[in-house]
Amino acid sequence: MAQNRHFQQGSLFKRGTRQKVWVARWWETVVGPDGKTGRLRRSEVLGPVADMPTRREAQQVLSDRLRSINSGDYRSQSTWTLKSFIQDRWWPEVQPTIKHSTRQHYDYVVNCHLIPALGDMQLRLITRDSVQSFLSGKLKAGLSWRTVKHVRTTLGTILKAAEDDDLITSNPVPKTRFPRRGPVPEKTPIDPGKIRDLLQALPEPSHSIALLLGSTGMRIGELLALRWRDVDLEAGMIRVRQTVYEGVFDDPKTKRSRRTVPVGKQGIEVLKQWKPSRLDPDALVFSTGKGTPLSRRNLLNRQFKPTCERLGLKGVTWHWLRHATATLSSSAGVPLGAVQELLGHSSSQITREVYLEAVPSDVKNAVQTVEDLILGPKWTQVPNLPEPANSLIN
């Protein structure tokens, strides 16, 4: 990048009628998409005149703004817009390296949120304040906290790439503040009885799918991508080799996700019921009449969610069953390493901090256990409490 050899003080003027503000202007050396350098006039509002009554105070703020530009190590920034950087540079480099589901996520965030709002803005002009205003506007517009967080993360990833390519001096996204998450919708606690009720009420094929997901801890995409060549009914084993998302097959999520999963007796019986008389090893275990993968969304919306609503189960999804596998395994005393292996996690920390929850009966038993330890074995009943003094009552 070209060095800026022009020391400058900038210029100041007031703008506005009712609420006057100080506006500063200065020159910046920039690099265009073609690699050629040039100079552009930069204009920025420094703040209200009420906060900086004198020109000397405003000049001091401007001098702070220009310190990095006047320094000997200043690097020229690019005039690329966010849209052009994403479409011409970032996306072509990133797209071949990510999975189909991640591409779908990036495509949604970029085209529905980032480009409409910030696409025409030059990368060098995207500041902390502009990003903060953008995120606050999304929250006020009614987007969920989680969606806005995903938007923020994606924007930060893109601008980090621009920073690594020396197109901007720093990534402003980590400097923004994100509000605390509000009340999270209540979820049905993981309980074996609730899962049994759900399995009894679910129609096929969701019944079989839910039973296998709940007992093996597989991801829904892994199960819907399962082919008969990867099923060993005699040994009671399933080999996870693929996943599927919206009809597109891909490698499993991580290297540890390529694993062999044991299947229980009931799971084996379920698989036997789905096994065709004339077996094609490459055929999917669960498929449409045309042999294509089942849609997880359709199953969720047409069978799974309506059944959960009838049973009064809140926040129960396909992924909830994976959490149930981890939680019930831990409750039964299965070692953490075995649970990690079963779920295909890359680290036990993910298993412990994200997937393990408390079974209500275990919590109740824990309270009773602690109470027994405090009172000791000789305390078979709670002693009679003394009568409160009349003076305290009256």
pLDDT band at 74 (very low <50, low <70, confident <90, very high): low
**pLDDT given at position 4:** 47
**pLDDT given at position 392:** 41
* Burial call 244-255: b when 16+ CB within 10 Å, e when fewer: bbeeeebebbee
Q: Read off the pTM.
A: 0.70
Using CA atoms, how far apart are residues 345 and 339, in angstroms rounded to an integer? 9
Reported as half-sphere exposure (CB side, CA atoms, 13 A), residue 218 has a value of 30
pLDDT band at 3 (very low <50, low <70, confident <90, very high): very low
* Burial call 258-270: b when 16+ CB within 10 Å, e when fewer: ebebebeeebbeb
Identify residue 29 by its one-letter amino acid code.
T
pLDDT band at 180 (very low <50, low <70, confident <90, very high): confident
Closest CA to 158 of 192, 225, 107: 107
- Average confidence (pLDDT) over 273-289: 94
What length is written for the chain?
A: 394
* Cα distances (angstroms) measured from residue 174 to each of 61, 100, 104, 157, 345: 23, 27, 24, 10, 28
- Above 90 in pLDDT, residue 31? no
**pLDDT given at position 366:** 60
- Average confidence (pLDDT) over 149-162: 95
- Average confidence (pLDDT) over 260-280: 92
Q: Walk me through the domains of the chain, giving residue ranges and CATH numbers.
A: 11-78 (no CATH), 82-175 (1.10.150.130), 192-355 (1.10.443.10)
Using CA atoms, how far apart are residues 190 and 205, in angstroms rounded to an integer? 22
Tens of pLDDT along 343-380? 888 887 877 777 767 566 665 666 566 656 555 665 55
Q: Which of 21-30, 143-152, 352-361, 375-384 has the lowest mean pLDDT?
A: 375-384
SS3 260: strand
What 3 state SS string does 58-87 have? Answer: HHHHHHHHHHHHHCCCCECEECCEHHHHHH
Tens of pLDDT along 98-122? 999 899 999 999 999 999 999 999 8
- Above 60 in pLDDT, residue 385? no
**pLDDT given at position 95:** 92
**pLDDT given at position 135:** 95
**pLDDT given at position 9:** 80
**pLDDT given at position 57:** 87
In the numeric block, which tokens belong to residue 25? Answer: 């202007």
pLDDT band at 166 (very low <50, low <70, confident <90, very high): confident
How many CB atoms within 10 Å of residue 86?
Answer: 23
Q: Over the chain, what is the mean pLDDT? A: 85
Tens of pLDDT along 34-68? 667 777 787 778 888 888 889 888 888 888 777 77
Tens of pLDDT along 292-310? 999 999 999 999 999 999 9
